[in-house]
A and B are shown apart, each in its own frame.
Chain A
Amino acid sequence: MNGSFATAIALAFHATMAGAEQIRIDMIERRVTPPPILSNMIAPPGDLGVAGARLALSEIAATGKFTGQEYVLHETVVPPGAPFLPAVEEVLDDGARLLVVKASAKELLQLADLPAAGDALIFNATAQDDRLRGGDCRANLLHTTPSLSMRADALSQFALKKQWTDLVLIKGPNPEDEAFAAALRASLEKFGMALKGEKAWAFDANMRRVASAEIPLFTQDLPEHDLLLVADERGDYGRYVAYNTWVPRPLAGSEGIVPQGWSGVVEQWGAAQLQGRFRDAAGREMRSEDFGAWAAVAAIGEAVTRSGARDVEGLRDYLLSDAFRLAGYLGTPLSFRNWNGQMRQPIPLVTERAVVGTAPLEGFLHERSELDTLGKDLPDSECMQFGATQ
């Protein structure tokens, strides 16, 4: 497996000596020190995100071998604490124009607003903030990872389809927990549901017992419910909630049934092949961050092959056009919303070992694309940078 990839890449370079055109893609990663969590069993993989970009590069390089392009991936890591902007300015000065970025919303905007990035195309591979697709959208910033509202809508469709409409929420103390909780509340309202109750999980210094002993009491006074929603986006306390609740109820959200851009359990629609290639290359399961970076690089390759364009503007136009269709192993072609740059993508609802369902679920209809039942739709969009109208 690894051997054949090495062969493919070597051949691509070989072709270059014979005069293939070179296409540069940059992966920029802002590394952060992972926040402390209750469990110290699982550290996030060091190549989270970039491993997806590397895999996609090897795939488009194989295509390039036949079509006369050589793709090169430049990797830049900005270490924790180091300033972000000088690092990315240097990359732009060096000629980078196709950027796949793993960074916070704030840093993505700083990058997108740099004068030197005006003629660049930036792919946000990991940041889920809705504002990047809304009021703070940028014409040079596309998103290959689902927004929080897309994930929340996937879960709402599932709850509605199951008729598990009596819902309560517990949320952690972190800003990302509140952001996911807010997305869930808004989504429930969009689908005509509402929370029956909500509690904030405060893991403070006064707690004298382990979480598993605390959870039953913590959940005892929640109103009667079908499904317990958990907002714990760091993976802190949520893992201890299952089976420790006062009443036996399934969990969903950050734990239990989790709406994810990607997961190692996705296997239908040829995904088993992608998962196999990823496991062979990275030695672990493919996650949402990896998929976001994979999809960005794969989209670039697809646009280069199909559009004939060799300038950033031409590639961007093609990516945002109806002609663009990316095979993303999720059963439905992926494309970009031409009003805010978000990739249309099905959202698997997964447990640790299986896909429970894939949103959009059957029956949720849309005049344009059923994928647009997930996330902010065009009529509600606050993004004004793309010029697309209905």
Chain B
Amino acid sequence: MKRPCLLILALGLTAAMPVHGDEIWVTNELDDTVSVIDTDTLEVIATHPTGQRPRGVTFSRDFKRLYICASDSNAVQVMDPDSGEILHDLPSGADPEQFILSPDDRLLYIANEDDAITTVVDTATRKVVAQIDVGIEPEGMGISPDGRIQITTSETTNMAHWIDTQSHEIIANTLVDARPRHAEFSPDGRELWVSSEIGGTVTVFDAESRSELGKIRFALPNVRPEQLQPVGMKFSPDASKVFVALGPANHLAVVDAASREVLDYILVGRRVWHMAISPDQTQLFTTNGVSGDVTVIDIASQKPVKTIKTGRFPWGAAARPTP
């Protein structure tokens, strides 16, 4: 009689206090799902259906809502990450590919890839606040830590468009190399990094003067130079390094943030797109589109520790601490 009782008690505890760790959420572009990875076990613990062709993904600051660019559904979906249910859609404009949330948690800046527009949506009122004409195929979305400047990069026009978030007008356009994919401010807000997929470079700007500080190039033995196609970028937790995903070169570059020199290359899965850092800041997760998996990298040693199979064409990634 005693044993079954204990067992029931144990089961009850498990249900009440989930034992899993933090989470990495990954959009699967060709499966119309998000995969949830447990950062302790490094296993996929849940898969939730989304709208069509999910790509960009991010959490609200309180991690209570997950925003998903469902590109072919022409919507940004808002998911309850606890239940995996879609709560509602936000008006996103056509074909949303990437977006960025303002530091005050209020506005989403959305790149409408097919319409050459940046759409600004108020997540509270669910209304479009502004639409800004940008270059063709907008994709990379960055925002300064103080929220004053939003950057949209356009892949075909090859520019970083600097948008004033007060007036919602473009205040400057800076040319970068071909097919800019991603824009990332340094955590101190002083630099803007823009990756150019076809140009094969990362351009670093001084955020204040918008002048070019330098350009980073990549080289790997036995990899064709044309295959070194920088896409996603992520600053390391201490901001001393920048991880740059090199697409079909199947590697990440580790760049020294100060000297802008490439320190190392890390082998990951095929056609690496984007990254997320675990909430405890020890692990980096990369989405590998072609191989359909996620590579987990130990940030301290800069070594890959595991590959996790997800859905087809994992694209975006976002982290959430233990709920």
Contacts and interface: CB of A to CB of B under 8 A. Distances in A.
A326 B178 contact: yes
The interface centre, meaning the residue of A1, A7, A333 with most chain B CB atoms within 10 A of its CB, is A333
Nearest to B113: A273
Contact of A66 (B115, B157, B197): B157
A62 B135 contact: yes
B115 A327 contact: no
A11 B200 CA distance: 31
Given A327-B155, A333-B226, A63 B114 contact: no
A325 B178 contact: yes
Nearest to B225: A369
Interface string B187-220: 0000000000111100000000000000000000
Contacts of B200: 325, 333
A8 B133 CA distance: 8
B314 to A, nearest CB: 16
Nearest to A333: B198
Nearest to B170: A66
A305 B157 CA distance: 10
A200 B268 CA distance: 51
B226 A369 contact: yes
A321 B199 CA distance: 14
A197 interface: no
A327 B173 CA distance: 19
A174 interface: no
B205 to A, nearest CB: 16
A277 B114 contact: yes
Contact of B179 (A63, A66, A327): A327
Interface string B113-145: 111110000000000000001011100000000
Contacts of A370: 224, 226
A63 B138 CA distance: 12
Interface string A322-343: 0001110001110000000000
Interface residues of A, number: 26
Given A1-B115, A4-B116, A325-B199, A63 B158 contact: yes
Given A1-B114, A305-B175, A333-B226, A63 B159 contact: yes
Contact of B114 (A59, A276, A305, A331): A276
B56 interface: no
B137 to A, nearest CB: 6
A325 B228 CA distance: 13
Given A305-B175, A326-B178, A270 B117 contact: no
| Size category, B interface | 20 to 34
B114 A327 contact: no
A67 interface: yes
Interface string B141-170: 000000000000001111101000000000
The residue among A1, A4, A277, A326 with the most chain B CB atoms within 10 A of its own CB is A4
Contacts of A302: 178
B22 interface: no
Contacts of B157: 59, 62-63, 66
A67 B114 contact: no
Contacts of A62: 116, 135-136, 156-157
Interface in A143-176: none
B177 interface: yes
Interface string A296-314: 0000001001100000000
Contacts of A270: 137, 155, 179
A328 to B, nearest CB: 8
Interface in B68-116: 94, 113-116
Interface in A58-86: 59, 62-63, 66-67
Contacts of A273: 113-114, 137, 155-156
Nearest to B248: A331
A370 B227 CA distance: 11
Contacts of B156: 59, 62-63, 273, 327
Interface in A1-19: 1, 4, 7-8, 11
Q: Which of A66, A276, A302 has the largest count of B CB atoms less than 10 A from its CB?
A: A66
B175 A67 contact: yes
Contact of A327 (B159, B175, B178, B224): B178
A66 B134 CA distance: 9
B133 A7 contact: yes
A284 to B, nearest CB: 18
Contacts of B197: 327
B96 to A, nearest CB: 13
Interface core residue of B94, B157, B227, B248 (most chain A CB under 10 Å) = B157
A150 to B, nearest CB: 17
A53 B114 CA distance: 19
Contacts of A66: 135, 157, 159, 161, 173
A270 B181 CA distance: 11
Given A327-B155, A327-B156, A59 B173 contact: no
Interface in A276-308: 276-277, 302, 305-306
A302 B156 CA distance: 10
Contacts of B198: 325-327, 333
Sorted nearest first, the 6 A-B pairs with minimum C-beta distance are: A327-B198, A66-B173, A332-B226, A327-B178, A327-B179, A63-B157
Interface of B: 94, 113-117, 133, 135-137, 155-159, 161, 173, 175, 177-179, 197-200, 224, 226-227, 248
15 contacts: A1-B94, A8-B136, A62-B135, A62-B157, A63-B158, A273-B137, A325-B198, A325-B200, A326-B198, A327-B179, A331-B248, A333-B198, A333-B200, A369-B226, A371-B226
